[in-house]
């Protein structure tokens, strides 16, 4: 079986996946790669998420915004992606005010979508119900439909593999 890893784009790998009994047919298919990624704020590890090792700075900003860790990207003074033995670390330098707010919060980061395992603090937390968020957002459905139609344009790994998550940020006001 030939190895197509070198010609694969970042975040995907080509691998033979078709087998039947003892027979294997070398038919390459693109699979998404995921690695454990620790988000480390001002030297303190906050959460580990399984994610594609691509666009990690954008992932860290989006996670930080959606979790209320930052109010805007300017609350982040610097960011470095550092390989480690067990995955990758995104080392994020926060403003003092945002870091103090983060330290005061209890970590309750069960993944909001997908399988719900990412972000849990301990195994016993898997499967516990998630408290619904308050209804504070309204959306123009035509704008939402238009955005969803173009979301895949920004997901090259998803286009190749058909199996990656996506996230988008909505700015107010929406035109």
162 assigned to some structural domain: no
Whole-number pLDDT of residue 34: 83
The predicted structure's pLDDT at residue 92: 97
Domain count, the chain: 1
Residue 70: inside a domain, yes or no? yes
Mean pLDDT value across residues 43-53 = 86
Q: What is the pLDDT confidence band of residue 156, given thresholds at 50, 70 and 90?
A: confident
Q: Is residue 50 part of a domain?
A: yes
Q: How confident is the model at residue 107 (pLDDT cuts 50, 70, 90)?
A: very low
Domain of 51, in residue numbers: 35-125
Q: Could you tell me if residue 150 is inside a domain?
A: no
Q: Annotated catalytic sites, by residue?
A: 115
CATH number of domain containing 60:
3.10.20.10
Task: Please report the pLDDT score of residue 136 as a whole number.
Answer: 79
Please state, in angstroms and as integers, the Cα–Cα distance from residue 166 to each residue in 20, 29, 80, 130, 152, following that order. 33, 21, 22, 21, 8
Looking at 20-34, 72-86, 115-129, which range is the least confident one? 115-129
- pLDDT at position 80 is 97
Q: What band does 59 get if pLDDT is binned at 50, 70 and 90?
A: very high
Let me know if residue 58 belongs to a domain: yes
Q: pLDDT-based confidence at 150, cuts 50/70/90?
A: confident
């Amino acid at each position: 079986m030939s190895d197509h890893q070198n010609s694969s784009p970042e975040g995907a790998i080509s691998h033979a996946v078709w087998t039947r009994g003892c027979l294997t047919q070398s038919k390459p298919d693109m699979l998404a790669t995921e690695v454990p990624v620790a988000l480390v704020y001002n030297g303190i590890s906050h959460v580990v998420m399984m994610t594609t090792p691509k666009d990690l700075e954008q992932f860290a900003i989006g996670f930080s915004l959606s979790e209320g860790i930052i109010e805007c990207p300017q609350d982040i003074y610097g960011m470095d992606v550092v390989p480690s033995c067990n995955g990758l670390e995104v080392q994020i330098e926060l403003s003092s005010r945002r870091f103090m707010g983060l330290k005061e919060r209890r970590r309750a980061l069960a993944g909001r979508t997908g399988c719900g395992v990412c972000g849990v603090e301990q195994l016993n937390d898997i499967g516990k119900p998630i408290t619904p968020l308050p209804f504070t957002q309204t959306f123009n459905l035509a704008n939402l439909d238009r955005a969803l139609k173009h979301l895949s344009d920004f997901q090259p790994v998803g286009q190749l593999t058909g199996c990656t998550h996506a996230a988008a940020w909505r700015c107010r006001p929406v035109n």
